[in-house]
Amino acid sequence: MSIKSNIMRRHDLDWLRVIVFGLLIFYHVGMFFVPWGFHIKNDIIYPEIRWPMLFLNQWRLPILFVISGMGTYYALSKRSGGQFAKERIQRLLLPLVVGMLFIVPPQVYFERLDKGHFSGGYFEFWPSQAFIGVYPEGNFSWHHLWFLPYLLLFSLVLLPALLYLRNHPESWLLKKTAVLASRPFGLFWLIIPLYIWESLLEPFFPSTHALWGDWFNIVNYITLFFFGFLLISVKEVFWKTVLKNRRKYLYCGVLGFTLLIGLRQLYSDSTLIHFIEALFKVFNLWAWILALFGYAAGYLNKPSKTLSYANEAVYPFYILHQTFTIAIGYYLMHLPWSFWSKFLLMSLGTFGFSWLVYEIGIRRWKVMRPMFGMKPKQTEKSVKSGNLVP
């Protein structure tokens, strides 16, 4: 069944995607300085910056999967199931392979140098050592590109259900979603499955991003992806509600994050505390997601040349950025500089080198564009919300 798309373009979704992936660069730079595990670490750790990073971490990935589900709705509105599957494989699998072969190995190389597991030049490491064994024991990895295989899996596994909902807009599920979305706090019923996953799955399946056996992340993120498709399917019902009630959701987010931090500071982990924390966590992340959609709808739903450029660049930037972050961090980690000196240099360097490679080595070259998930230049007049998310 072919459906002609009369869907109005949502520039706010484009802006949110660009902003959230921009924050990802700052987040990964921050990982260099906090006590949490990362590939390389600064000589001095700054525990206090984990609080703003924890704030971002609560909703950053969940909103990306919600936006991805929304983008899937746009993509399916003008493609058959087969065309959609082919496009997703081309625009997710090819960049993943390219990234694992050429972009991720330098990250592993610098980590092996830092930990004393390898010595020598990069081309002594790649390719002879780069693909021996699976990380962390070995060197072959997708590192920060884990988002791509997860998104590909969700897109293909859910495709029959998404096609059914696309072809049956009067289905019970979409009608129920519209009812929930029409009420200021009706959308908070959607945290019920998120709470079940957080309270019952998360303790037994810690996050690995390895796909195989990573059951909590798979179930949690595929749920958020599906929510995105449902919410965008009810169109203006959803957008009017989040726009009108954005301040309420903001207050809920502030309350939820305060409760979450307070609980972690005041009580030791236990079974009861885990169930309470899980509730605070899903309430908090969902409130921030709804607030962000509301404020974006109010202030960002307008086109601009900056948005057009950034929306096209965001996918290559995502693929490239962590390699530059780790490379720069490796040469700064032992210097007696302040936190802000290193943080700013790493942030500016990551953005700058990513932009340089994108502008000179990717955007202008027909053969390079598909390797980084970009559409052929001659057929692309603008980057739409229905295009690949990231």
| 210-248 pLDDT, tens digit each | 999 999 999 999 999 999 999 999 999 999 999 999 999
In a domain, residue 6? The reply is no
Return the pLDDT at 54: 94
Question: Which of 23, 32, 35, 53 minimizes the C-alpha distance to 340?
Answer: 32
Q: What is the domain range of residue 354?
A: 11-104+142-379
Return the pLDDT at 390: 53
- Whole-prediction pTM: 0.93
386: confidence class by pLDDT, cuts 50, 70, 90: very low
Average pLDDT over residues 66-88: 94
Residue 170 backbone phi and psi in degrees, to 5: -100, 15
pLDDT digits (tens, 9 = 90+) for 55-74: 999 999 999 999 999 999 99
Query: What is the CB neighbour count within 10 angstroms for residue 266?
Result: 8
381: confidence class by pLDDT, cuts 50, 70, 90: very low
Return the pLDDT at 269: 87
In a domain, residue 158? The reply is yes
CA–CA distance, 141 with 133 (Å, rounded to integer): 9
Are 221 and 164 a contacting pair, CB within 8 Å? no
Domain count, the chain: 1
Are 195 and 35 a contacting pair, CB within 8 Å? no
Percent of the chain clearing pLDDT 70 (strictly above) = 95
> Alpha helices, DSSP H only, in 115-245?
122-125, 147-157, 159-167, 172-181, 191-196, 215-233, 236-244
What mean pLDDT value characterizes the chain?
A: 93
pLDDT digits (tens, 9 = 90+) for 125-175: 999 999 999 999 999 999 999 999 999 999 999 999 999 999 999 999 999
In a domain, residue 184? The reply is yes
Upstream peptide bond of 136 is cis (omega within 30 degrees of 0): yes
Q: Locate 34 and state its tokens.
A: 């906090």
In a domain, residue 126? The reply is no
In a domain, residue 269? The reply is yes
pLDDT digits (tens, 9 = 90+) for 341-373: 999 999 999 999 999 999 999 999 999 999 999
Contact residues for 232 (Cβ-Cβ < 8 A; gap 6+): 69, 70, 73, 74, 238
CA–CA distance, 220 with 173 (Å, rounded to integer): 19
Half-sphere exposure of 245 (CA within 13 A, CB side): 22
Average pLDDT over residues 374-388: 56
Question: Which of 327, 360, 359 minimizes the C-alpha distance to 346?
Answer: 327
Return the pLDDT at 258: 96
Question: Which of 281, 320, 387, 377 minimizes the C-alpha distance to 106?
Answer: 320
In a domain, residue 116? The reply is no
Is residue 383 predicted with pLDDT exceeding 90? no
Return the pLDDT at 378: 54
In a domain, residue 77? The reply is yes
Is residue 26 predicted with pLDDT exceeding 50? yes
In a domain, residue 128? The reply is no
